[in-house]
Amino acid sequence: MERIRLGGHRGSGCTDSAFARAASPRSRARGSKPPENTLESIAQAFEHGADFVEIDVLRTLDDALVVTHSNALREHVLVAPPSARFMGELRLEEVRQLRTGLRGRQSAIPTLTEVMDLIAEWRARRGLGDFVLNIEIKDVKGTRAPKQAPGRPSLVELLAKQVPAHSRLSLEAIVFSSFAVSDLVELARLLPAARLGMLFDLDREAGGLVYEADPQLSDRYLPFTPAEIENVRKQIAEVGGRLEFLHPEIDTLTSAAMKAASPLGVNCWVMRERVPVRRRHSLRQALRLARTHQLRLGVITDFVPETRQQLAGLRRNSRR
Q: Which residues contact 132 (CB under 8 A, 6 or more apart)?
A: 51, 52, 53, 119, 122, 123, 169, 173, 174
Q: Are 65 and 73 in contact (CB under 8 A)?
A: no
Dump pLDDT digits (tens) for 37-67.
999 999 999 999 999 999 999 999 999 999 9
Higher pLDDT, 44 or 279: 44
Q: Are 176 and 156 in contact (CB under 8 A)?
A: no
Both ends of the chain: CA-CA distance in Å? 12
Measured CA to CA in angstroms, residue 243 lies from 6, 48, 176, 201, 261 at distances of 20, 29, 10, 18, 11
CA–CA distance, 248 with 202 (Å, rounded to integer)? 8
Q: Are 264 and 244 in contact (CB under 8 A)?
A: yes
Dump pLDDT digits (tens) for 192-250.
999 999 999 998 888 999 998 887 889 999 999 999 999 999 999 999 999 999 999 99
Q: Determine what percent of the chain is predicted with pLDDT higher than 70.
A: 91
Dump pLDDT digits (tens) for 62-108.
999 999 999 999 888 888 888 899 999 999 999 999 999 865 678 99
Q: Which CATH number fits domain 5-319: 3.30.70.580, 3.20.20.190, 3.40.228.10, 3.40.605.10?
A: 3.20.20.190
Each residue of 259-284: b (16+ CB within 10 Å) or e?
Answer: ebbeebbbbbbbeebebbeebeebbe
CA–CA distance, 57 with 104 (Å, rounded to integer)? 23
Q: Are strands 5-9 and 297-301 parallel, antiparallel or unpaired?
A: parallel
Q: What is the mean pLDDT of residues 275-295?
A: 85
The whole model's pTM is what? 0.94
Q: Is the pLDDT of residue 274 over 70?
A: no
CA–CA distance, 48 with 44 (Å, rounded to integer)? 6
Residue 17 pLDDT class (50, 70, 90 cuts): confident
CA–CA distance, 120 with 7 (Å, rounded to integer)? 16
pLDDT computed for residue 1 by the predictor: 43
Q: Which residues contact 287 (CB under 8 A, 6 or more apart)?
A: 1, 2, 4, 297, 311, 314
| Average pLDDT across the chain, whole number | 90
Chain mean position to CA 281: 23
SS3 of residue 224 by DSSP: coil
Q: Which residues contact 149 (CB under 8 A, 6 or more apart)?
A: none
Q: What is the DSSP string of 113-181?
A: HHHHHHHHHHHHHHT--S--EEEEE-TTTTTT--S--TTS--HHHHHHHHSTT-SSS-GGGEEEEES-H
